Structures are given as structure tokens and as C-alpha cells.
Amino acid sequence: MGEREQVRPLAPAADRQSSDEEGAPQHHKKRSRKCVQCCVFVTSIFVILVIAIIVLRFTVFRVKDPIIKMNGVTVTQLELTNGTIPKPGVNMSLIADVSVKNPNVASFKYENTTTTLYYHGQMVGEARNGPGHARAGRTVRMNVTVDIIPDRIMSSPDLNADLSSGLLSLTTYTRVPGRMKIVIVERNIVVKMNCSMMLNITNQQIQTQKCKRRVDF
């Protein structure tokens, strides 16, 4: 008779359950570690994107102020009485050479522009120009023709003093409203310029000129 096969007793049920429970925490730990690593990776990518957007926003995509400039002023159709006094009832014109420089990486689209002429605080002429755009890094020039009403100048109480000096004190106000969009950054911009000048009555040339510029967002 052969030897009886030795039968290995099964481990108690309590021992088997304990072994399964020991493996479960390790599985959960690995899963939790992967979740943490995934969250850290996603957060890092998000932070990098935010930093990149902020850097671009204040460097390449930063909206810079358009630069407005009065290049020159010419007076035409000025008729004088006795060579010194503007003739009443006859219109004269002032042609302003205005330029707007766009230092940005996107076009500056502007709407109707206005130029108003004042003589000692009283409006004596106004001109309007149509819309247009200044390309990125370019300068656009506008010849603005202002029709002046001499009767308003003649009625000014300051005229006699100016005629004695041979100079008319004039002020211009130019307003250029527009909009600029650089990728996701869009802004409404208003470029303004005030210029004070002295017009030599005899040779009809601008003798002195000072301008102040301002940009509003």
C-alpha cells in the first residue's frame, strides 16, 4: 500500500482575509500617488500658461500710446484790409498737417476725427475728417482743413491788441477716437492734442507753436 498523500491543511479563513486586506492599502496608495502626480502636472501646466499670458500681456501685447503730432500749419485765403486787418465776411482756411504714429503690433483703427480752432477761447472754425487706420509700426498723416470765420475774430475784444502786435493768438484742439485689438486685448483709445500758436498777420505764417498731447483709455 502506497504512502498516503500528505494533505496540506488550508489556512484558516481569518488568515486569508487578513492577507487580502494587507494588499488593498498598497493598491490604494499607488492609485492616490498617481492622482497626486496628475494634479501636480495639471497645476504646473496651468501656472506656466498663466505666467506666459501675463508676460505677453505686459511685453508683446501691451497696448502702447499712439503718438499724435502737429507737423505744420498753413493759412490760406487770408485777405487783409490795409495789409493788417482780416477782411470781414471773407472766409479763410487753416490747413493743419497732423500725423498719428502707431507703435503697436496691431492696427489702430480710428473713427471720425475733429479739429477745432479757437481765438481767445471762442470757437472760430472746425473741421472733420473721415475714419481710417494706422498700420502696426506705421505713421498716418492727415491734412485737416479748418474753415475760419473772420467775423468771429473781428468781434473779439482782443483783436485790437493782437493787431498792434501783428500776431493772432490761436489754439487748436484735435481729437482722434479709435480702437485697438491685440489678440485677446482690446481697448478704446482717444488721442488728444492741444496746440497754441501765434499767426503772423503780415506774412501769414505760424511764428510759434506749442502742443500738449494726451491719450485716454
What pLDDT tens digit does each residue of the chain (217 aa) get?
445 555 555 555 555 555 555 555 665 666 777 777 788 778 888 787 777 666 665 555 677 889 999 998 888 766 666 555 566 666 678 888 999 999 988 889 999 999 999 999 999 999 998 899 899 999 999 989 998 887 888 888 888 888 888 888 899 999 999 998 877 778 899 999 999 999 887 777 888 889 999 988 7
Residue 181's pLDDT is: 81
Residue 115's pLDDT is: 93
3-state secondary structure of 78: coil
Residue 81's pLDDT is: 61
- 35: burial class by Cβ within 10 Å (0-12, 13-18, 19+)? exposed
Residue 91's pLDDT is: 67
